[in-house]
Amino acid sequence: MSKIEIIPAIDIIEGRCVRLQQGDYDRRKVYDASPVDMAKRYADCGVKRIHVVDLDGAKSSSPKNLRTLEQMAVGAGVEIEWGGGIKSEESLRALFDYGATYAIVGSVAAREPMLFAQWLATFGGERMVLGADVRDGKISVNGWQEDLAVTIEELIDGFLPMGLSQVVCTDITRDGMLQGPTDELYVQLQERYPMVDFTVSGGIGSMADIERLNEKGLRKVIVGKAIYENRITLKDIEQWSLNV
């Protein structure tokens, strides 16, 4: 069985690396390293994919850091999955033109499922990723500022016939808290939908968390704040990635 893939996260506001606690823009911490420098460091560690969230885009409903995306794609040479503010096909095409390998769509998928289904048909499940942000089992949208009545299972069931094959699921209650992920949520989802690659997101605080998820058969995990706070080192990531 292959090891779980570590996908480092970079959150961007005004071209700078930041981390939020539980999605709260007022509880942000700005880090010194530029997104481009961080992407290069991760690439040097053997990382194949980086998870990037355009927080300016998420708040304003259109991608805002496309130049940074372009610099990261050219400078680091890794696959980039990009989310934040993707509300139109124009935005989607711009992302791919500027170098994104994958597009993560959350709010549109939940609010306008027919539109996301159309994008799945146009761009394919190998490029389109469902971003499912969950609070107490229900989907949250618009930068986690609004909760909907729909469950993650209902959302996934609607898109499976259209070729959905990748889901990033974030447990909002754990995000940025470094207290460990909600293992059961991801195990249940992966077992229910074996044809879908689920990415664990939210709460990773140590390599022990990653090792535990790996033992449970999960396939991908996003690590963000734990890296910036030195709970997980670049050396840890390098050793893990090179032994996949």
Question: Where in the sequence numbering do the catalytic residues fall?
Answer: 11, 133
Give yes or no for a contact between 112 and 86, defined as CB atoms under 8 angstroms apart.
no
Of 209, 226, 206, 230, the residue nearest 218 (C-alpha)? 209
CA 234/CA 226 separation, integer angstroms: 11
Bridge partner residues of 51 (DSSP): 9, 81
Q: Calculate ∠ Cα 2-242-17, nearest 5°.
A: 105
Distances (CA, A) of 103 to 76, 85, 138, 192, 229: 18, 11, 22, 24, 27
* DSSP 8-state secondary structure symbol assigned to residue 162: G
Residues 162, 168, 173, 176, Cα dihedral to 10°: -160
Q: Is 169 exposed, middle or buried (0-12, 13-18, 19+ CB in 10 A)?
A: buried
CB atoms within 10 A of CB 56: 17
Give yes or no for a contact between 79 and 47, defined as CB atoms under 8 angstroms apart.
no
